[in-house]
Amino acid sequence: MAIPGETTGPTDAALFRDAVERAIRYLHDLPDRPVFPREGATNRLSELDLSLPDGPTDPRLVLALLDEIGSPATVASPGGRYFGYVIGGSLPAALAAHWLATAWDQNAVFRATSPVSAFVEDVALRWILEVLTLPPDWRGGFVTGTTMGHVAGLAAARHAVLERQGWDVERDGLFGAPPIRIVTSAHAHATLFRAARLIGLGDGRVVRVPVDEQGRMIPTRLPELDASTILCAQAGNVDGGSFDPLPELVDAARASGAWIHLDAAFGLWARATPRHAQLLRGLEDVDSCAADLHKWLNVPYDNGVILVRGSAANSLRSALRMQGAYFPEEDARDRGRWTPDASRRARGVDAWAALLSLGRSGLADLVERNCGFARRFAEGLASAGYSVLNDVVLNQVLVSFGSDTETQAVIEGIQADGTCWCSGTHWNGRAAMRISVCSWATTPDDVERSLESMLRIAERVRGGSITARGIDGRS
């Protein structure tokens, strides 16, 4: 056991080298392990549940314990054959920059607390606007993910629609305020409703507009909008990847004075490619847009962005207002004035590294490659006789393997097999398996191996040798 202060501290090179070597080994082994950890590995997690010792533990032991017990119990989602939810990996440059910036341990709240963070985040934000061909007067900040992007965007919207009616919501709150209405699609993401609840707008008051068979909002079914409405559109349905018809929705919002907020959690990056940019026509006309960086930009968790148009910048600033006698004098580069957090890590550094390492062509190629893989999955499954339930417009595929019971059995079989990992959903009343392709690490070989395992397992289900656990009580 080490004496505290002797081997610990900022210059413990052996410890840090050990950490990096363990991380490298972990990443190296990812392709050869089951995508979801085996029960033996997750059972061992209880070995981390020690009684808190009275005295110190050697940092080398701390790290070894975490790696030896923790690493085998991780999900191989940074690898190339994880297609569950919408996750994405970490680009090497983004991961490496993240490690270095963790060593910096900067507080990115003010320029005064970290000039480098403020500067690099400014550049990253500018690059994001450039790859999206958005005007340079747009503003924004780095948040933990789309959920907090929604909170910030809806708070800005709340400020704007109430200010028009002479109500100062930051001072007086919502008690006695004129009512605000959120209008969104019946397929809006769960986090939008969470954000609505958090900022006091209530999810029960949200008006849900019907969607077509692809999950796109039907503009002719919009209720009457007005200047106290916040219209929330979606770019990239979390199941099928479809896009709400943004130009029509923007027109309806503009004509009525409503605020328009966009959930572009992963769909945002379609705009960075020649082939798919048209899916995001109208982006330049929304008031606010929340998106993830940890999904398709492939930076480590947790990372997202809130973007607002130039004329909406003041609403976001007002909504996030923060004063303190001990705060430094305000500086245009104070990024903490553009996010709901105060103290936080410099998330924009990871985005800066990802964008620099990819370049415009690399980003477009990452997105296009993943979309091509999604089409390959759809084609391979359809030609084997299974039903692809969505138009594969982006990176998401929904497939049915027959009855709901059979689809469920195939999903469970694939998850147990460990070659790849997919999750399930319900789409237009049918059970479906979701395939989400959004990692730089996925190769054509990963796609073929995964497709082979899906077809092999589906064939066994069709032949009756596997049945679903939860649904079919016999197995």
Ligand X SMILES: *Cc1c(COP(=O)(O)O)cnc(C)c1O
Residue nearest to ligand X (CB): 145
- Contact region with ligand X (CB under 6 A), list: 56-64, 244-252, 259-267, 327-335: 259-267
From the list 127, 266, 269, 338, which residue makes contact with ligand X (rule: CB under 6 A)? 266
Backbone angles phi, psi at 307, to 5 degrees: -120, 140
- Contact assessment for residue 305 and residue 288, using Cβ atoms and an 8 Å cutoff: no
84 versus 304: smaller Cβ distance to ligand X = 304
Work out how close the CB of 263 gets to ligand X at its nearest, in angstroms, rounded to a whole number: 5
Closest to ligand X by CB, 189 vs 345, is: 189
Please name the residues in contact with 384: beta carbons below 8 A apart, sequence gap of 6 or more. Answer: 455, 458
DSSP assigned state of 386: P
My answer on whether omega of the bond before 472 falls inside 30° of 0, hence cis, is no
Give the contacts of 53 (CB within 8 A, at least 6 positions apart): none
Structure tokens, 353: 């590294």
Q: Which of 16, 77, 115 is nearest to 301 (CA)?
A: 77
Non-local CB neighbours of 189 within 8 Å, separated by 6+ positions: 146, 234, 238, 263, 265
Side-chain half-sphere exposure of 379, counting CA atoms within 13 A: 8
By CB under 6 A, residue 147 contacts ligand X: yes
C-alpha separations of 28 from 70, 263, 274, 337 in Å: 16, 35, 33, 40
Residue 466 Cβ vs ligand X, minimum distance, rounded to whole Å? 30
Identify the H or E element spanning 426.
strand 423-427
The residue range among 61-69, 142-150, 170-178, 448-456 that interacts with ligand X, by the rule CB under 6 A, is 142-150
Instruction: List the end-to-end C-alpha distance of the chain, in Å, as a whole number.
Output: 50
CA torsion, ordered 406, 399, 265, 311, to nearest 10 deg:
-130
Specify the residue, 301 or 386, whose C-beta has the smaller distance to ligand X: 301
Any contact of residue 146 with ligand X (CB under 6 A)?
yes
Q: Nearest to residue 282, comparing CAs of 292, 268, 296?
A: 268
Give 59 or 236: the residue with its C-beta nearer to ligand X. Answer: 236
Q: Report helix, strand or coil for 159.
A: helix
- Candidate list 72, 80, 84, 236; residue touching ligand X; CB under 6 A: 236
Binding to ligand X (CB under 6 A) within 287-346 occurs at 292, 304
Strand partners, 272: none
Closest distance to ligand X from the beta carbon of 281 (Å): 18
In the complex with ligand X, the residue whose CB is nearer, 114 or 185, is 185
State which of residues 145, 282, 300, 424 lies at the interface with ligand X (CB under 6 A): 145
Of 101, 132, 222, 265, the residue at the interface with ligand X (CB under 6 A) is 265
DSSP letters, 300-333, are -SS-EEEEE-GGGHHHHHHHT----TTSPPP-TT
User: Does residue number 239 form part of the binding site for ligand X (CB under 6 A)?
Assistant: no
The least CB distance from residue 191 to ligand X, in Å, is 4
Give the nearer residue to ligand X in terms of CB position, either 59 or 149.
149
Nearest to 205 by CA among 189, 224, 177, 229: 229
Please, what is the minimum distance in Å from the beta carbon of residue 146 to ligand X? 3
CB of 297 to ligand X, least distance (A): 12
Q: Which is nearer to ligand X, 140 or 304 (CB)?
A: 304
Q: How far apart are CA 440 and CA 363, in angstroms?
A: 10
Of 13-21, 47-55, 261-269, 359-367, which part binds ligand X (CB under 6 A)?
Answer: 261-269
What minimum distance in Å lies between the beta carbon of 301 and ligand X?
A: 8
Which residue, 341 or 406, is less far from ligand X as judged by CB? 341
Q: With CB under 6 A as the contact rule, which of the stretches 144-152, 159-167, 336-344, 346-354 interacts with ligand X?
A: 144-152
Stretch that binds ligand X, among 9-17, 68-76, 101-109, 258-266 (CB under 6 A): 258-266
C-alpha dihedral sign at 82, 83, 88, 93: positive
Quick one: which segment of 45-53, 68-76, 260-268, 465-473 binds ligand X (CB under 6 A)?
Answer: 260-268
Which of residues 292 and 446 has its CB atom nearest to ligand X in the complex? 292
Could you tell me if 295 and 309 are in contact, meaning their C-beta atoms sit under 8 angstroms apart? Answer: no
DSSP 342: S
Question: Which of 121, 263, 350, 446 contacts ligand X by CB under 6 A?
Answer: 263
Least gap, CB of 86 to ligand X (angstroms) = 5
Q: Are 344 and 109 in contact (CB under 8 A)?
A: yes
C-alpha to C-alpha distance for 178 and 410, rounded to whole angstroms: 51
In the complex, what is the shortest distance from the CB of residue 395 to ligand X, in angstroms, rounded to a whole number?
11
Q: How many CB atoms lie within 10 A of CB 344?
A: 19
Which residues, 6+ apart, have CB-to-CB distance to 456 below 8 Å?
none
Q: Which of 106, 117, 191, 315 binds ligand X (CB under 6 A)?
A: 191
> For residues 140 and 413, which CB has a smaller minimum distance to ligand X in the complex?
140
Binding segment for ligand X (CB under 6 A), chosen from 1-9, 28-36, 140-148, 320-328, is 140-148
Identity of the residue, 191 or 407, whose beta carbon is nearer to ligand X in the bound complex: 191
Site residues, ligand X (CB under 6 A): 86, 145-147, 189, 191, 236, 238, 263, 265-266, 292, 304
